[in-house]
Chain A
Amino acid sequence: MTYSRVGLLIGITASIVIALISTILYSRSSVSVEDSSKTDTVGGHTPGYPIVRTTGDVLDPTSSAIDPKAAVVDPMKYLRDFNYGRISKLSNGTSVREFTLIASDQQTKEVSPGVLYNVWTFNGTIPGPTIRATEGDLVRITLINNGTKFHSIHTHGIHPSEMDGVFEGIAPGGKFTYEFTAEPFGVFPYHCHMQPLEEHITHGLYGVYIVDPKKPRADADEMVMVMNGYDTDFDTENNFYTVNGIPYYYMHHPIQIDKNRLIRIYLVNILEFDPINNFHLHANVFDLYRTGTKLISDEYTDIVTMSQGERGILEFSYKYPGKYMFHAHKTEFAEKGWTGLFLVKDGTAQSVSENSNVTSVRNTTSYSIRELDNTTNLGATGGLR
């Protein structure tokens, strides 16, 4: 009859309209579209993980390099870059080393691929330049404050109160020269000590200050490593963890070292928010000189754990060629960027291309050394993008 017919019609029409609207509103298919015109692959870093082909963009800080112009630091350049200062002599024969640090707090730079952050820097990089002197030298560090806030330089080590960089801040546009004798020998951090302290440090105002003993340490391939983090969303928890400023950088740009060559790492933990950080070396053990203030090894180990501001000198050499990981054994940090690779070369050649094939290691489940050298690159994610 009429009612049920009309009702049925309304019911059917309503259902169709409903179905159509829903379909039009949300016709997003969840099935991956494969298009050969422009495809990238992602995944496959981990054995057993599927490799996804995509026509879109790849978000992969573990294998994609950062644009060097926008990056807050070039970690490969920073690694072995020691600044000995402008050297002159006093009449009594003491060496004078003069350094200039320019503080700024207005730049925005890339701290992880695709992530921009308001960085506060000494000389434009995080970490700031590594300052190096020999015990007994007269160190002069001129701070030029190019920023909009008060800044200072607080250097660890022995020095007079007025050179401690705590009670006198340098006003924006101001300038001050810190002067002290380099003592004792060891590895120290330097950082801004203005309030709020945590804010000034976590934004990037820090670097490493090395004092060599008068009798130099044994010849070695020396490098500096600063463990840090970035709290990019300001919730007092780090979003990224790095060694030398860029997450995962040494994963796609492994640090090349020679087999049997003595390696010396000046390791500093400047991480904020998290009370501890650590360094774990794969397939090896190292001599640990805590704070670097003694010449006798404190420990022979493969993990060193450091609280905020702690540091040490690590010495080791690799017996076998190949690729070896080093990372925080606090694995959360490792999985947020604090991971890197050593590439141990058989010969003595130092000038092998940095852009070596890393993904081959991650794409194979075989750990034979011979295979590591021979595997082909299965993924398209390796190297510079």
Chain B
Amino acid sequence: MMEREEGNTSNTYGITKRTILFGVIPFIVLGAMIILLLSSPGILFQSSIKPLPEVSIEKVEFSDGNVVAFVRNTGPSEITIAQADVNDRIHPAAIEPGRTLVRLADARVIIPFIWNAGEPYDIGITTDDGTRFSKTVNSAAPAPRPTIEQASTFALIGTYVGIIPVMMGLLWYPFIRRLSLNKYNFFLSLTAGLLVFLGIDALLESNEIGVDTVAPAFNAQILIIMVAIVSLISLLYVSQKLVQRASVRSRSDIEHDMGYESHSESHSGAGRDFPTFGSSLSSSQQQLLIRPIAISMMISIGIGLHNFGEGLAIGAAVLLGEVALSSFLILGFTLHNTTEGLAIVAPMAKSRRIPVTRLLTMGLIAGVPTIMGAWIGGFLYSPIATIIFLSIGAGAIFQVVYSVGSWIYHTNGNRGLLNNPSIITGFAVGMLIMYLTGLLI
């Protein structure tokens, strides 16, 4: 008996060890294969053809008397840069840190060149096998330098594009509060429409950047989808936790608030189609109170992430000389983004009154990232970072769409979404508004 027990224990112990062993064996085999392939290249697979080089010019900056191209070796093997040119005419240049680039390494090519503002330039580099790679800049403009003036310019742009429109949108709060349930559903679904548009827009824009600017080696398109999905599911998780925690922790708070809230509600007279809140709370009534604020907060965060990506894109566009910043352009962005404020306030309209400071906080969460995005995009432009943040933003937006959608489902009396014409119209109008204001940009 004792022996058997001992045997059992050692067996259990052995299984743990063996489990580790079984887990490791594939890695050992893999390692052996890697060593075999690398130590004697050509023993199994032999090719006399040198792999084609691939170089990406990620960014071209124009400064005083210089053109600076940021190049990256995105090909399969090490390359050496031999020459640089402007408009396909050879020019002496410096390359830092050096002319030889290992895979995925980058370098700066500095070409002394007197350029003319506003003119297009084609900047090229030639690798040691004589292949030329080039990037066309539509309109040369001095690169933004991280000076106080430039930083405040970007801050101003961010304020106009991000903060002011969102804040203006928040001004619709009292209006939404006074709507009947059906009209409220219309505006909720309008919000969903706006957000869906924003999400698709972010995906398309990051796809465009990914295709045009990012080297194929980075697989930008799959990266976009991947980041958006991860962003979506992790924010779904976060929002669920947020609602759960809030409902557990602040039940007493809410119950206290309720008395005050139902009082003011009866004064406003807006709750005609809406269940009146009594002193005793059913779980569905609790949801009515808690979820809207959580949804609004998630919308602010989602829009904040989206605006960060938008800020990156704006800063980068200024840096790359792709847009001339004009009042008209800023006006277009302002109109376009005003709807974002509406999206934030819409879910909260039928809950208790929201303090102004909290509204402002949500507005700032949604708007301020635009400024930071513009700084980072303008001073440290990187197409990869831009598409990553745009995709995170897209995922966040779709999470918010999900929340808003389930909220509409709820306010629609759990009777589905597609049976109510005001929901369908709202959704369509929301997207149409975004499309039309988007034409101004």
**Could you tell me which A residues sit within 8 Å of B by CB distance?**
1-4, 6-8, 10-11, 14-15, 18-19, 21-23, 25-28, 30, 32-33, 40, 42-45, 48-52, 54-63, 111-117, 230, 232-233, 239, 247, 332, 335-337, 381
B94 located at the interface, meaning its Cβ lies under 8 Å from any Cβ of chain A in the complex: yes
Contact: B297 with A15, CB < 8 Å? no
With the chains together, A57 CA to B253 CA distance in Å?
67
B10 located at the interface, meaning its Cβ lies under 8 Å from any Cβ of chain A in the complex: no
Contact: A116 with B128, CB < 8 Å? yes
With the chains together, A10 CA to B237 CA distance in Å?
14
B77 → chain A closest CB, angstroms: 14
Partner of A59 from the list B81, B89, B253 (CB cut-off 8 Å) is: B81
Contact: B83 with A114, CB < 8 Å? yes
Interface stretch, picked from B30-38, B151-159, B176-184, B360-368, is B360-368
Contacts of A62 in B (CB 8 A): 90, 92
B28 located at the interface, meaning its Cβ lies under 8 Å from any Cβ of chain A in the complex: no
- Beyond A30-B143, A58-B92, is A18–B130 a contact (Cβ under 8 Å)? no
Contacts of A337 in B (CB 8 A): 90
Contacts of A336 in B (CB 8 A): 88-90
- Beyond A116-B128, A232-B129, is A22–B380 a contact (Cβ under 8 Å)? yes
Residue of B nearest to A230 (CB): B130
Residue of B nearest to A58 (CB): B94
Pick 14 A–B contacts, CB within 8 A, sort by A.
A1-B358, A2-B249, A3-B297, A11-B301, A11-B365, A18-B372, A26-B384, A44-B112, A50-B112, A61-B82, A113-B82, A114-B128, A116-B130, A232-B129
B323 located at the interface, meaning its Cβ lies under 8 Å from any Cβ of chain A in the complex: no
B68 located at the interface, meaning its Cβ lies under 8 Å from any Cβ of chain A in the complex: yes
- Beyond A19-B376, A22-B376, A112-B82, is A59–B297 a contact (Cβ under 8 Å)? no
The 7 closest A-B pairs by CB, nearest first: A232-B130, A43-B112, A114-B82, A56-B96, A54-B94, A60-B92, A26-B382
With the chains together, A26 CA to B246 CA distance in Å?
38
- Beyond A60-B93, A239-B130, is A22–B112 a contact (Cβ under 8 Å)? no
Residue of A nearest to B297 (CB): A7
Q: A10-B301, A22-B385, A56-B99 are in contact. List 18 more A-B contacts (CB 8 A).
A: A3-B293, A6-B246, A10-B238, A32-B110, A42-B94, A48-B114, A49-B65, A49-B112, A51-B112, A54-B95, A58-B95, A59-B95, A60-B93, A61-B90, A112-B82, A112-B83, A116-B130, A336-B89
Contact: B365 with A8, CB < 8 Å? yes
Partner of A50 from the list B65, B95, B108, B128 (CB cut-off 8 Å) is: B65
Contact: B128 with A14, CB < 8 Å? no
With the chains together, A32 CA to B109 CA distance in Å?
11
Contact: B90 with A56, CB < 8 Å? no
Contacts of A40 in B (CB 8 A): 94
State which residues 231-251 of B face A: CB under 8 Å. 238, 242, 245-246, 249-250
With the chains together, A89 CA to B129 CA distance in Å?
47
Contacts of A32 in B (CB 8 A): 110
Partner of A332 from the list B84, B89, B381 (CB cut-off 8 Å) is: B89
B380 → chain A closest CB, angstroms: 5
Contacts of B304 in A (CB 8 A): 11, 14-15
B261 located at the interface, meaning its Cβ lies under 8 Å from any Cβ of chain A in the complex: no
Interface residues on B, range: 35 or more
Contacts of A44 in B (CB 8 A): 112
- Beyond A22-B380, A61-B90, is A42–B112 a contact (Cβ under 8 Å)? yes
Residue of B nearest to A247 (CB): B90
| Interface residue SS majority, chain B | mixed
Contact: A56 with B361, CB < 8 Å? no
Contact: B68 with A18, CB < 8 Å? no
Contact: A381 with B92, CB < 8 Å? yes
Interface string of B279-323 (1 = CB under 8 A from A): 000000000000001100100110011001000100000000000
Contact: A56 with B95, CB < 8 Å? yes
B131 located at the interface, meaning its Cβ lies under 8 Å from any Cβ of chain A in the complex: yes
Contacts of B369 in A (CB 8 A): 15, 18
Partner of A27 from the list B130, B250, B380 (CB cut-off 8 Å) is: B380
Contacts of B381 in A (CB 8 A): 26
Contacts of A112 in B (CB 8 A): 82-83
Contact: A14 with B97, CB < 8 Å? no
Contacts of B137 in A (CB 8 A): none
B224 → chain A closest CB, angstroms: 16
With the chains together, A61 CA to B362 CA distance in Å?
58
B61 located at the interface, meaning its Cβ lies under 8 Å from any Cβ of chain A in the complex: yes
Contact: B130 with A56, CB < 8 Å? no
Contact: A52 with B112, CB < 8 Å? yes
Contact: B385 with A26, CB < 8 Å? yes
B113 located at the interface, meaning its Cβ lies under 8 Å from any Cβ of chain A in the complex: yes
B80 located at the interface, meaning its Cβ lies under 8 Å from any Cβ of chain A in the complex: yes
Contact: A42 with B110, CB < 8 Å? yes
With the chains together, A62 CA to B89 CA distance in Å?
12
State which residues 368-417 of B face A: CB under 8 Å. 368-369, 372, 376, 380-382, 384-385, 389
Contacts of B5 in A (CB 8 A): none
With the chains together, A4 CA to B376 CA distance in Å?
26
B107 located at the interface, meaning its Cβ lies under 8 Å from any Cβ of chain A in the complex: yes
Partner of B300 from the list A11, A23, A247 (CB cut-off 8 Å) is: A11
With the chains together, A7 CA to B242 CA distance in Å?
9
Contact: B132 with A233, CB < 8 Å? yes
Partner of B130 from the list A3, A43, A60, A115 (CB cut-off 8 Å) is: A115
Contacts of B294 in A (CB 8 A): 3
B70 located at the interface, meaning its Cβ lies under 8 Å from any Cβ of chain A in the complex: yes
Contacts of B114 in A (CB 8 A): 48-49
A362 → chain B closest CB, angstroms: 10
B64 located at the interface, meaning its Cβ lies under 8 Å from any Cβ of chain A in the complex: yes
With the chains together, A58 CA to B238 CA distance in Å?
52
Residue of A nearest to B309 (CB): A18
Partner of B99 from the list A22, A43, A114, A117 (CB cut-off 8 Å) is: A114
With the chains together, A18 CA to B369 CA distance in Å?
9
A360 → chain B closest CB, angstroms: 16
Contact: A59 with B84, CB < 8 Å? yes
Contact: A15 with B368, CB < 8 Å? yes
B106 located at the interface, meaning its Cβ lies under 8 Å from any Cβ of chain A in the complex: yes
Partner of B361 from the list A4, A26, A381 (CB cut-off 8 Å) is: A4
Partner of B82 from the list A8, A59, A230, A381 (CB cut-off 8 Å) is: A59
Contacts of B81 in A (CB 8 A): 59, 114
The interface centre, meaning the residue of B65, B82, B90, B385 with most chain A CB atoms within 10 A of its CB, is B90
Contacts of B64 in A (CB 8 A): 50
B259 located at the interface, meaning its Cβ lies under 8 Å from any Cβ of chain A in the complex: no
